Amino acid sequence: MTTEKKRSVAESRTDGSKAPRPKDAATLILYRQSSKNTEILMGERSARHSFMPNTYVFPGGRVDASDGRIPPARDLRDDVMARLVRGGCSPARARALAVAAIRETFEETGLRLAETYPMPRRSRVAIWNDFGTTTCGPDLSKLDYIVRAVTPPSRKKRFNTRFFVADAETLEGEMKDSSELLDLRWVTIPQALNLDIPLITEHVLGHVDNFLKTRPERDANRPVPMFQMRHGKRIFGEE
């Protein structure tokens, strides 16, 4: 049995219970240009995770209730907002997803996509004060939205994940491992494909590769690839 198959079996429901409703989540794929190659940031999920432990993934996680209450220093680009809304989000939920991607990246890697606020403000959520909320907040304008994936109904935990990308050139902070994400490393896409990655991450990497090679225009009508499973079959569609 392959590693992916074993992981699928371990994370699948076996008690006949109803499939859980997928929870909103967001992931941030950071890229940078090295001397010869374009690299992306990945890390190994801690063994204590019940969902995809010991696999290499991008920074990210589920949306917290507080993410919808954090005012961004800069809003989403109009084309990115339009694509998120087209996929069923309200504008407020779209912002919460983007904020979650930036927050999770900061928590897991120490890196920030930030911009200065016009006036100092303080948050009741500790992580945002660590982020620098009194002086700066999440910069959503740096994000592009490229793919969406929903965890199969057979799994114990399910997520409706939006994958964002951003240029690492604008990052602040010092990269460091966390209790959530270990062995952080910059890798090329061929190198990433040789890591122990979930099947969905392999699929997303294909779209990341295409994005980095083509650098598509900022078009609100650009289709967003979407992965989901229906009646036991993988569906690769668009939204």
Chain centroid to CA 125? 21
Smallest CA-to-CA distance from 64 within 124, 151, 11, 152 is with 124
Q: What is the pLDDT of residue 217?
A: 95
- Output the pLDDT for position 16: 64
What was the pLDDT predicted at 9?
A: 43
List, in order, residues 6 or more apart from 73 with CB less than 8 Å away: 114, 115, 116, 117, 136, 137, 138, 139
String of b and e for 176-186 (b: at least 16 CB within 10 Å)? eeeebbeebeb
Q: Which pLDDT does position 52 carry in this prediction?
A: 65
pTM passes above 0.85: yes
Q: What pLDDT is attached to residue 186?
A: 97
d(CA 99, CA 68): 8
pLDDT at 2: 52
CA dist., res. 77 & res. 68, Å (int): 17
Weakly modelled stretches of the chain, pLDDT under 50: 1, 6-7, 9
The pLDDT, as a whole number, for residue 49 is: 59
